[in-house]
């Protein structure tokens, strides 16, 4: 059983203790135990999640447990990526979080986690894995794939495939305009402009950079 005090300990920084290595091993063992507890109690099938529970209190308790575990794994991965600059461990946390999100049938969370993993893999130089994660998000969650389209464009740009990068950034731009998201539209225009510039299409690059600057001015004056 993981007590509240032990769960709180998972969020402590190792450097605050005299022996960081011992604490890291202890925290890792707690994380493993916590995730195994989730795997053993989770309802993975759609039938078990959607059917009316026999005991509403027990079912709600399981859902609360899943919500907390999903949030913890996602946040822990973010800490590894942003605070500690350890992208490999971050991907592992997000991969475990993806298992939970899939069990809960959370499309938006799954798309977000796939985007995080794809971005981390690109920064690790793992282009194939990056493209796979983004493609999965676009294919499975078309209503939540805006960031994944941008991620695909960035990864194709990073490997020098400018035409495919342009294709996906254009698709990203169309989605942002359709949603009326001016900030997202500006970001997409900036990406398209960079590719047009790299391709030597200067007039087109200027047009998209101009739109990007217009959005920036709107944001500043808002």
Query: In terms of DSSP H, where are the helices of the chain?
Result: 4-10, 20-41, 46-50, 56-82, 87-103, 107-123, 127-140, 146-158, 162-179, 182-198, 202-221
Chain length of the chain: 222
Output DSSP code: residue 53: P
What is the reported pLDDT for 24? Answer: 56
Residue 21: pLDDT band (50, 70, 90) is low
What is the reported pLDDT for 66? Answer: 83
* Coil vs helix vs strand at 52: coil
pLDDT tens column, 118-148 = 999 999 999 999 999 999 999 999 999 999 9
Residue with tokens 């991965």: 77
What is the reported pLDDT for 34? Answer: 56
Residue 16: pLDDT band (50, 70, 90) is very low
47 pLDDT more than 50: no
Q: List Cβ neighbours of 220 (8 Å cut-off, separation of 6 or more).
A: none
80 pLDDT more than 90: yes
What is the reported pLDDT for 51? Answer: 55
Please compute the mean of the pLDDT values over residues 167-196 and round it to a whole number: 96
| Architecture, CATH, for domain 161-222 | Alpha Horseshoe (1.25)
221 pLDDT more than 90: no
- Mean pLDDT, the chain, rounded, equals 83
71 pLDDT more than 80: yes
User: Which of 5-14, 111-120, 139-148, 150-159 is predicted least confidently?
Assistant: 5-14
Q: How many CA atoms lie within 13 A of 155 on its CB side?
A: 27
Percent of the residues in the chain that have a pLDDT greater than 70, as a whole number = 75
């Amino acid at each position: 059983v993981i007590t509240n005090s032990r769960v709180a300990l998972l969020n402590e920084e190792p450097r605050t203790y005299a022996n960081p290595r011992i604490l890291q091993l202890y925290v890792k063992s707690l994380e493993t135990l916590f995730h195994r507890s989730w795997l053993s109690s989770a309802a993975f099938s759609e039938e078990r999640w959607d059917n009316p529970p026999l005991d509403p209190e027990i079912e709600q308790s399981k859902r609360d447990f899943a919500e907390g575990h999903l949030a913890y794994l996602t946040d822990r991965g973010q800490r590894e990526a942003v605070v500690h600059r350890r992208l490999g461990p971050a991907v592992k946390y997000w991969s475990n979080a993806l298992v939970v999100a899939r069990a809960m049938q959370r499309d938006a969370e799954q798309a977000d986690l796939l985007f995080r993993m794809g971005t981390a893999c690109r920064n690790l130089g793992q282009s194939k894995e990056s493209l796979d994660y983004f493609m999965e998000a676009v294919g499975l969650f078309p209503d939540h794939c805006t960031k994944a389209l941008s991620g695909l464009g960035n990864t194709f740009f990073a490997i020098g495939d400018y035409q495919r990068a342009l294709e996906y950034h254009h698709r990203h731009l169309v989605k942002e305009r359709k949603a009326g998201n001016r900030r997202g539209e500006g970001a997409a225009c900036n990406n398209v402009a960079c590719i047009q510039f790299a391709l030597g299409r200067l007039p087109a690059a200027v047009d998209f950079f101009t739109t990007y600057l217009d959005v920036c001015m709107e944001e500043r004056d808002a």
